[in-house]
Structure 1
């Protein structure tokens, strides 16, 4: 009798840990033959697996046992040494490479039918004329309606080798037509720059969501465009950015720092130190930069913020960052799976390690957000715990602290309206996006005459739409959710999601930036209110 389910690995923390690693391109000179040479510890594990394979009374999936063993070993090291099963490896590689091979559509399974939310700009689907609202009925003549396929299965049917072809049979509701589109699969970028635009006449804004292989190229393209539009100052938004490659962070920092300024250094267990310095290539060395961070800004985001702060460059605005100062290197395990193993620690230019303590275990470590919320730190900067023993001083005399994240120069409390826990839950679950899709399905033509600029400036969400949203949530969550105190905030999120589905990520960010207390703080710093002294 098969009884393998009890051996399925509990991949605790992997989803969070994979997003907040640093894939630093470090020298790793140990020969793999020497590292994995025969030893008694390896023989013991191999022998145990063989005994279970050949002698155990029941059939067992020993692959899952191996996964459990690997996870168990890594969980005793640190929170960021993680195992990547082979079934997840491709998705992780695409995420960090910054692109994938496909046809470029965002879709939603609506009433058992795969329906296009929008075609990604310049992708095969957009070029062929596939539109938001189109129903995908067949893939290469195979029907996919009512098949119960999950999103991964649907993506796998549509994806394929680069330059290969796939034919999508589509029903277009707006014209009551069945159409066939033969698409040539191509490389589709996973954008790192969510938004890039001017906040004022001389203040530009860039939101960066990760540090992937393609991120620097996207960033420098956006920065050059903003400079040509008159930007002399920049807001670099790294909120909720979980990190990525240390080398990419270095390249971006280099655009702000003068030649030979220290960016960071790393140290391994042999106390070998590697230092990274700025070069002479920076195109924004004379411009002021505001870096926005929050409690979810991690690893490479913290390298960038720490390098600028320790070099007395720019202004760090927001809340204390995540606190990850460990460097991982990915190592293949021979069967398509891999391990990301911590190989060194990194330090900011003043010598700070910003790694949080993890001695209490992984669960406590990853629950830090809730601990910070409960302690009051997210609303009151005096609740941020600092240790005098971890006090450092920048060249210009500013005091900074190590031991758990980057503490901003200018604190901005969490917005209790826009960051209400119920709204956070709804937005992260994709419920707002799903509701907006169904709202657009009722009458897409009503939005056909809007340009992005018109929509952002002039469209308003009416009260009856909020009522519809409440009924939608009650149906989907079986909870009686009624918005009273946060009605305006709900309208902002609905409008932002409509903007995203009609125009893309940048439109989403433009809508929300109007109600963003961190951006408001930067604008207030830039344009402080006049103080009029009362004359007697």
Structure 2
């Protein structure tokens, strides 16, 4: 089962951010956790005392969880403890798949409403459709009561090939019926889309670096090459990272044989250098990498490799600034720690790790600080240290370490703060829900419309603009409605996503994208 983007994917994403912007298994595994014998004995003895002697019953496992968290808090912001429940969700996201029934859904009026079935997935094959409600999974009721995500997922997920009997209500025919769905492996895409934004310019959006990312990326790259692209935009905005190896393999597609991609150095001073091979499929075309303040970790490795080798142009705003490598170490009970085991350096020798004296929320959310100092709006406001000055490999251009990748071409946020807030709302789940509910009123009518007729319906009819204002107000949000054209464009794009495809959706949205527009100007 794939939940709605606003239930499953944001859950995975929020876990990734909270867990320190994942960066994975570069170094050889070993599970030695350094601590003194006396320290171990002291902790074990204290837990035994509590277990045997404390006046009330205490769950010592929960105490251990708190203790591990406190120990790791004294290290760095990216060394973290992952409990058993959260590890399952993170692992599925980073594996790039899970076993389920294959639907995007959300809870609409206390009922599981299907936004869309996954193409060629189990639910589509069984006959489920967008707008259907799932009332029961076997004999377990899924409506008219509060159900946690964990409970809901447990009813719809399962083993490959296992079957679940569903009771469905189809609003379009006002009928209730039973359906048997055979669970299967459901991919979680880490590459959102690969498409052309002009005759010769391709665009690939990577949302994280999971086990399947390189294969997804390579497939998209070959498709675009076959369509005759001469330049490629790689979008890693908002990408918090993932597996180091995936970033290396993607960089290898652009760099020539023996060009350095990244260097890591561990506690003992041992260095591990990763070089490009002669295998690259796009070593001569122009490359543009889009970054922002939420671009981190493996994404910064990719951007740094392209920038330091003078291979392409980095466009956007200064990246997050994470230059630490973690290794996941299982603790034997289904939980794990991700421990920082090395630092990484870009080809010019830069560490882009920002200071982490502030290990609280401020470290992970610098938006307010960058907003206050003006660097989201003016490139000159980005603070750099001359002591952290480096030169790119081929052209000797000046680049800086010490806190993220500074773009070659700066693209600010809109100086109209109301418009920027509007964009954030229009990219949120609020729009998804509004569009679903509009479709739900008369799905048969919308499904008959072509793309052009759908556009006319949305833009020529004030009903949707007015209804959306009411919908936002009912949700308690404030919003600037002065740019009516932009709001209608986002609404139209979401109608297209739910009725047609993600690719058709992106083709509309990217026409409004300031960074994509900048790249096309640079062309």
TM range (shorter): over 0.9
Q: Which residue of 2 aligns with 1:81?
A: 79
Q: Secondary structure at the match of 1:148?
A: coil
Correspondence for 2:486 = 489
Counterpart of 1:18 in structure 2 is 19
Question: Is the 8 Å Cα contact of residues 119 and 126 (structure 1) preserved in structure 2?
Answer: yes
For residues 436-489 of structure 1, the C-alpha deviation after alignment (integer angstroms, 9 at most, x for no partner) is 211111121232124558757985374332322222222223x5x353334333
1:501 aligns with 2:463: no
Partner residue, 1:438: 437
Structure 2 counterpart SS, 1:291: strand
The within-5 A match list for 1:415-454 is: 415-416=414-415, 420=419, 422-423=421-422, 426=425, 430-451=429-450
Count of matched residue positions in the alignment of Structure 1 and Structure 2: 509
Answer whether contact 1:75 1:362 (CA < 8 A) is retained: no
Does the aligned pair in 1 maintain the 2:328–2:339 contact within 8 Å?
A: yes
SS at match of 1:344: strand
Q: CA deviation at 1:38?
A: 7.6
Higher mean C-alpha displacement, 160-169 vs 14-23: 14-23
1:5 corresponds to:
none
| Native 8 Å contact 1:14 1:83 kept in 2 | no
1:231 is aligned to 229
* Shift, 1:180, TM fit: 2.3
Give the secondary-structure state (helix, strand or coil) at the position aligned to 2:459: coil
Question: Pick from 374, 385, 388: which aligns with 1:387?
Answer: 385
The question of whether the paired residues in 2 share the 8 Å contact of 1:74 and 1:82 is answered with yes
- 1:456–1:507 contact (8 Å) kept in structure 2: no
Distance 1:17 1:265, change over 3 A: farther
Q: CA–CA distance in 2 between the matches of 1:265 and 1:461?
A: 56
What's the offset of the Cα at 1:154?
A: 1.3
- Partner Cα distance (1:217, 1:499) in 2: 27
Structure 1 residue 397, shift from structure 2 partner: 1.6
Q: TM-score, normalised to structure 2's length?
A: 0.92
Q: 5+ unaligned residues in a row in structure 1: which ranges?
A: 1-12, 527-536
SS at match of 2:319: coil
Supply the distance in 1 between the matched residues of 2:377 and 2:439 (Cα, whole angstroms).
Answer: 37
Aligned counterpart, 2:151 = 153
Query: Deviation per CA, 1:11-62, whole angstroms, max 9, x where unpaired?
Result: xx9652436121033124x564xx5798110111111112122212222222
Q: In the alignment, what sits opposite 2:264?
A: 266
Q: Does 2:282 correspond to 1:284?
A: yes
Task: State the 4+ residue runs in structure 1 displaced beyond 6 angstroms.
Answer: none
Query: C-alpha distance in 1, partners of 2:87/2:305?
Result: 31
Residue in structure 2 matched with residue 172 of structure 1 by the alignment: 170
Bigger shift: residues 136-145 or 107-116: 136-145
Secondary structure of 1:407's partner? Answer: coil
In structure 1, C-alpha distance between the alignment counterparts of 2:503 and 2:221, rounded to whole Å: 15
Query: Structure 1 residue 71: deviation in Å?
Result: 1.0
Change (3 A) 1:350 1:43: same
Counterpart selection for 2:103 from 102, 105, 116: 105
Q: Which residue of 1 aligns with 2:291?
A: 293
The aligned counterpart of 1:522 is 519
Distance change in 2, residues 1:114/1:14 (3 Å): closer
CA contact (8 A) 1:327 1:342 kept: yes
SS in 2 for 1:187: strand
Output the CA distance in 2 between the equivalents of 1:364 and 1:315: 30
RMSD of aligned alpha carbons: 2.2
Q: Is 1:302 the equivalent of 2:300? A: yes
1:55 to 49, 53, 56: 53
Who is 1:467 aligned against? 466
Please say which of residues 216-225 and 195-204 is displaced more in the overlay: 195-204
TM superposition shift of 1:511? 2.1
Q: Which residue of 1 aligns with 2:67?
A: 69
State the distance in 2 between where 1:475 and 1:148 align.
Answer: 21
Structure 1 counterpart SS, 2:475: helix
Question: d(CA) in 2 for partners of 1:307 and 1:50?
Answer: 51
Once the two structures are TM-superposed, the CA of residue 424 in structure 1 deviates from its matched residue by: 5.9
Q: Which residue of 1 aligns with 2:475?
A: 476
1:424/1:342 CA distance change after superposition, 3 Å: farther
Quote the Cα distance in structure 1 between the aligned partners of 2:338 and 2:418.
32
TM-score (normalizing by structure 1)? 0.90
Indicate the SS of the match to 2:487: helix
- Residue 265 (structure 1) shift: 0.4
Paired with 1:274 and 1:454, the residues of 2 have a C-alpha distance of: 57
Q: Distance in 2 between matches of 1:393 and 1:36?
A: 38
5+ long unaligned stretches in structure 2: 1-13
In 1, the alpha carbon distance for the partners of 2:467 and 2:20 equals 35
Distance 1:230 1:454 in 2: 30
Q: Distance in 2 between matches of 1:280 and 1:314?
A: 18
Change (3 A) 1:379 1:454: farther
User: Aligned partners of 1:41, 1:124: CA distance in 2, in Å?
Assistant: 52
| Aligned counterpart for 1:378 among listed residues 376, 379, 384 | 376
User: C-alpha distance in 2, partners of 1:385/1:37?
Assistant: 39
Relative to structure 1, is the Cα distance of residues 320 and 447 closer, same or farther in structure 2, using a 3 angstrom cutoff? same
Change (3 A) 1:368 1:36: closer
